[in-house]
Chains A and B, each alone.
Chain A
Amino acid sequence: MTDIRVPPPEPAVTEVPPAAGTVGLRGAAARWLRRPRSRRELVDRLFAVQSLFALLVVFVVAILASPRRDGEILFLTAGNLGNIVRAVSEIGIIAIGMTFVILLGGIDLSVGAILGLSAVGTATLLVDSGFGIVPAVAVVLVIGALFGAVQGYAVARLGIQSFIVTLAGLQVARGIARIWSGGLGIPIAYGDGPQEAPPAFELLNGSVNGVLPVPAVLFALIGAAAIVVLRTTAFARHVYAIGGNEKAARLSGVPVTRVKVAVFAVAGLLAAVAGVIHAGQLNQGSPNDGAGYELDAIAAVVIGGTSLAGGSGSMGGTLAGALLLGILNNILALNNIDANVQLLIKGLVIVLATALQKLRRGIA
C-alpha cells in the first residue's frame, strides 16, 4: 500500500552546525552518548552497534558455555583465541569483498572457487614452477582480480544478474583449478631444492610474538583499510548509490560500469588473498579448497546488518559478523557438539540476526 511517512518536522532549523568534536571517532562517541531526541533516533543508535552488541553477547555466552580444565576456561586460553582468529581470517577476508558486492546489490558465488584456484595456483607456482614467493603471489592475485573483473564486466555490460554470472564463474574457476592441478592436492614442501617452496612462505603459518597468527594480522589490516575505504572514498559513495537506486546513480553521473567491474575485481582479489593464506596454512593447494566458503561469507555480511537489497550496510558489521560466526563454530566444537547440530544452530543464528534487522524497521 502507500508508504506512511512521518511528515517532516516543521521548518526545523536548517543549519545544525556540528558541535565541537562531533567529527571523527571521538565525535561518534559523543553523538552516541548524547540524549536521543526521538525513539527513532534511539533505536537507530542501538542498532548501529547491533552486530557489535551481538558479538559481545556471543562472546559472553561462549565464556559461560566453555568447558574448563583445572578451573581454566578453555575458550579464553591464548591458544584457543588464536585458533579462532586464524580460522576466521580466510572467511573474513572473503566477506570484506563480499560486502562491497552486496552493497552494490549483487552477490558473488564464485569466491570459494577462486580461493581454491588461488590455493592451487600458489602451490603449483611455488613448487612445480619454481617461482619465488613475490612473483607467485603476484600472479595469483592478478588472476583473482582479473577473474572478478571479467565477471563484473559481464554483470555491468551484458546485464546478466550477478547470481548467474558468478554461479557460472564458480564452475569455471573450479574447472581451471582441477585442470591445473590434475585434480589432486599439491603439497608444499619447504627447502632450497627443486620441487620445494622457499621456507619464508611458512611465515603464513606463524604468529607475531608467538600470539597473533599472521593470517589474523592480515585480516585486521585489510579490514581496517576496507573500513576507511567505505567511509571516506568517492568510490564507496558510488557503490552505495548504485546499490540503492541504479537508475538514479546512472542519471546522476556515477560511472556505473567502472564501479561494478572494480567491485567484483576487489572481491576476486580478496578471495585470491584468502587462497594464498589457505595454501600457506595447510601447506598445500587442493582444487576443492574453499567449497561453500561463499555462503559463510554471505552469512557474515548479513549478520553484520548489510541489506541483500543493496545500498545499506557497513564494513564494521561484516567484521563483527565474521568473528561472531568464528566464535560460534569454536564454542560448538569445544563442547563436542555434533557437526550436524552445529549446522542447524548456525542456520538459526543467521535467521535470528536477519529477523532483528526487520524488527528495527518495526520499532523505529
Chain B
Amino acid sequence: MILVDPGDAPRAAAGTGGPVVVAMTGVAKRFGGVTALDGVTFEVRAGEVHALLGENGAGKSTLINILSGVITDYDGAVTVDGSPVRFAGPAAAQAAGIATIHQELDLVPALSVADNLVLGREPRTRLRTVDRRAAVRTAREHLDLLGADIDPRRPVGSLRVGEQQLVEIAKALALDARVLVMDEPTAALADGEVRRLFATIDGLRRRGVGVVYISHRMEEIEVVADRATVLRNGSVAGVVPAGRMDRRRIIAMMVGERATSLFAPAPTDADGSRGTVREPLLDVTDLVVRPRAPRPGRCEPDGISLTVRAGEIVGLAGLMGAGRTELLETLFGAGPRGRRTGTIRLDGSPYAPRHPRAALRAGVGFVPEDRRRAALVLDHPVGRSIMLTALATVTTAGFVSRKRERSAVQRTITELAIKTSSAATPVGALSGGNQQKVVFARHLLAEPRLLLLDEPTRGVDIGAKAEIYRLLRRLADDGMGILLASSELPELLGVCDRVLVLRGGRTVADLATDGCTGEDILAAAMGGATAGRDER
C-alpha cells in the first residue's frame, strides 16, 4: 500500500524527502556482555534512500533486526508515523509496512518462483484451491518491475543465487512495503542487474517508499543513497547527506583510526613488469565441458583458454551466468560428471582432477562462493574448521595430535589475524570476514600452488577486505598463482595483474589491469560494442 501520491515526492532533491515514516531513538541492545547497539538514533523518510554503513559487527544487523521485528527485546523507542510501536515479531513489522530482504534468503527452494512470491497470501479460485494462473501473473508483474527475466514456474532451487535474490526483492515489493530494508541486496548481483536494481529503487523512491540500504560497496552508496548513517561499534559515527559523500571520509568514519588504503600495491620488478617472467603454472586450452546430466541455469565451460603464472593474480570477470563458478569448479574437480575436451596443464603436466581430493593433492585450493553452504559447518569450532583440509599434517596413524593441531591452529589464527575469542568458538559466531579468513586458513595450511577464489570478499567488511587483499598479494609474491572470480570491478582492477573476461562459458578478453578501466571489462563481458584490446 503506497500512501504517498507518486507525484508528491520528487527525487529527494531537497535532501529531506517526505515525512518521517519510521524513527528509532536511543535504541540500545546488549547480547550477554557484548554491547551491540548503544543509543542509536535512526530515521527513514518517505521517498528517501537511507544508506546504513558500518563494518561487520558495527551494529547494522542488530539495528535492522529491531526495525524488522526480529529482535523484540531492546531499550529505546521506535515510532511509525509518530506513534510509538513495539513489534511483537516480524509479521507485525510487515503489517506496519516494513519489509526486509535479508542477506540469507528466505525462499523455499522446492516451490516455484510464483509460489514463493504469494506464499501465505495465495490467490484462491472459487473452489478455494490455489489459483496458480493468478499467482504466476502476479509474479510476472513484480519480476517485470525489476526487469528480471525469470520464468515464474521454475523452482527457486534451480535458480542461481543472484536470481534468487531478485525473486526475494520482488517478493518484498509484492508486500506493498512503505519501508523496504535491503541488507546487501547487490552482494550476489552482476553489474547489469545492479543497474536494474538501482532503477527499481529509483522507482520506489518516486512512489514515496523509504528504502534502508545496507551495502559494503561505497560506489553504490554514492550512486543510490540520499543520505547515509555510519555506525561504528554500536554508535552513530555520523550522518552524511548526498553530495557530501566523500569516500575517504566515510571509510574513515567506519574504521575510525585505521588505515584507509584498501588495495595493496602490486610489486613492480626492476624493469617495471610484474609477474611476467615466471613460467605458466596453469595452462588451459580450449576447455569444453559437456555434463552427462545438464544442469539447468548453469553455464559450463565452452571454450576456455587461459594461463596463470606463478606469482600472478588473475581476475575472472563476467556477468552472472557467464560461467565463472563453473570454470573454477571444473578446475577443482568439483564440476559435473561428463565429457571434457581441451587440455589443462598444471606446472607443465596434464591435470584432470576427478574430485576435489585429487585437486588438493595436486596443490590446488578452492575458496567457494557461498561459504555457509559450501565451506563451513557453522556450529563446529574454529580450530576444527581450520584443520579440516590439512588434517593429515597433524595426524599420525589416524590419530590427530592435539598438540600439533593446537600449535598449527594458533599460528594460523595469529597470522591471518582471525578475531575469535578462542579456537573452540563456533565458526558461526564470527563475523563474515573472519569466517572467510577461516576458509582461507584451511587452504593455506594445505600449502597450495594454485588458489582458486570465488567471490572471496562477499559479505566481508571493508577492514577484513583490505586484509584479504594484502594477504593475496603476499601469497602471490611467495610464488602462488591465484585465479580470482569477482563481480566487483574495483576489486578486479585493484587486486589483479590481469583480468580474463568470460561470456557464455568462453574467454572473450584478456586485459592487463594497467590502464584498463571498468568500462573495458564491462564492455567485453556484455559483448556489445568493441571491448578490450585483446578481444579474441
Contacts and interface: CB of A to CB of B under 8 A. Distances in A.
Interface of A: 1-16, 18, 23, 38-40, 232-235, 237-238, 240-241, 244-245, 247-255, 311-312
Contact of B71 (A4, A12, A241): A4
Interface centre among A16, A234, A244, A255 (most CB of B within 10 A): A234
Contacts of B100: 2
A253 B57 contact: no
Contacts of B142: none
8 contacts: A1-B106, A4-B65, A5-B61, A7-B36, A8-B425, A14-B414, A232-B399, A252-B388
Nearest to A11: B419
B12 interface: no
Given A15-B414, A311-B377, A252 B389 contact: yes
B420 interface: yes
Interface range on chain B (Cβ under 8 Å from partner): 35 or more
Nearest to B58: A7
Contacts of B421: 8-9, 12-13, 16
Contacts of B387: 237
Given A14-B418, A248-B374, 10 more contacts: A2-B102, A2-B103, A4-B65, A7-B31, A8-B431, A10-B57, A15-B410, A232-B399, A245-B374, A252-B442
B373 A245 contact: yes
A61 B513 CA distance: 75
B422 A16 contact: yes
B512 interface: no
B402 A23 contact: yes
Contact of A251 (B103, B332, B391, B429): B332
B108 to A, nearest CB: 13
Given A247-B373, A252-B389, A253-B357, A15 B413 contact: yes
A245 B377 contact: yes
B400 interface: yes
Contacts of B399: 232-234
Interface string B415-440: 00111111001001111001000000
Contacts of A251: 332, 334, 356, 366, 368, 374-375
A3 B422 CA distance: 22
Contact of A234 (B62, B392, B402): B392
B398 interface: yes
A8 B57 contact: yes
Contacts of B71: 4
Contacts of A6: 31-32, 34, 429
B419 A247 contact: no
A48 to B, nearest CB: 12
Contacts of A15: 410, 413-414
Contacts of A23: 402
A340 B420 CA distance: 52
B395 interface: yes
Central interface residue in B33, B57, B355, B421, by most chain A CB within 10 Å: B421
